[in-house]
């Protein structure tokens, strides 16, 4: 299980992770605002299923535990979930064993619940300071103004930091070209450069895609030169 937090983009990243895992041959799921969806690799493609209707970004602890057990019973082995500030603050994720966690951005929102931006930020930081087990990977959007704060929290908590974006050091966005049907990205990872076609508009979606890729790499399910053969 990987989790992602941020004011905007959580749904996209959870969806992208599910799609990436499925493309790597893993039966996968995404849990969040759009409900619970699964992707099952089959000969010639992938079959997607909607298991629950849209609802809470992060379900309550009991419902979440039951759903994860159901998913495991259906053969799902890899999943991505949205970690909302409400869900983190209300301890809904405390029983989830996370492999990696991602951070996207922090802009003003939910102050009716948290009261101040400091409290809002603290709720999201808890994902890295408390919920992500020590020694795991924090995938952080280096282009966010809040990146230094989240990086410091991740390092202090004993995590490996994978920074992504134009200011990143792991998945580095070196060029972005707008196209009629999306955008072309040039991304450098270790000593290789990749030219990618992303059929979505907006710089924010480029960042979302990189965080999703980072989470899947951190989960050990994609063969990368720095991680050897990866997990089976």
Q: Which domain holds residue 28?
A: 2-164+202-218
Inside any domain, residue 192: no
Inside any domain, residue 40: yes
pLDDT at 225 over 70: no
Write the CATH number for 88.
3.40.1190.10
Inside any domain, residue 44: yes
Inside any domain, residue 61: yes
Q: What is the pTM of this model?
A: 0.91
| Structural domains in the chain (count) | 1
Inside any domain, residue 53: yes
pLDDT band of residue 79 (cuts 50, 70, 90) is very high
pLDDT band of residue 90 (cuts 50, 70, 90) is very high
Tokens standing for 202? 């907006």
Inside any domain, residue 173: no
Torsion of CA 52, 57, 58, 63, to 10 degrees: -20
Please calculate the CA angle 141-201-45 and round it to the nearest 5 degrees.
90
């Amino acid at each position: 299980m990987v989790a992602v937090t941020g004011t905007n983009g959580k749904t996209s990243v959870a969806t992208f992770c599910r799609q990436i895992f499925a493309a790597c041959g893993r039966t996968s799921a995404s849990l969040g605002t759009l409900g619970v969806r699964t992707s099952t690799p089959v000969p010639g493609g992938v079959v997607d299923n909607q298991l629950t209707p849209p609802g809470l970004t992060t379900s309550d602890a009991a419902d979440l535990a039951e759903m994860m057990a159901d998913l495991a019973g259906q053969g799902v082995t890899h999943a991505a979930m949205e970690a909302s500030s409400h869900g983190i603050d209300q301890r809904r994720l405390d029983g989830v064993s996370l492999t990696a966690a991602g951070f996207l951005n922090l802009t003003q929102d939910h102050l009716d619940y948290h009261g101040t931006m400091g409290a809002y930020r603290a709720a999201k930081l808890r994902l890295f300071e408390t919920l992500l087990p020590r020694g795991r990977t924090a995938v952080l959007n280096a282009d966010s103004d809040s990146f230094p704060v989240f990086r410091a929290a991740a390092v202090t908590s004993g995590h490996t930091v994978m920074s992504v974006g134009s200011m990143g050091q792991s998945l580095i966005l070196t060029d972005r070209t707008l196209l009629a049907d999306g955008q072309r990205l040039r991304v450098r990872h270790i000593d290789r450069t990749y030219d990618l076609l992303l059929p979505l508009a907006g710089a924010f979606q480029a960042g979302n895609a990189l965080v999703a890729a980072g989470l899947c790499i951190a989960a050990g399910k994609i063969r990368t030169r720095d991680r050897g053969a990866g997990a089976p």
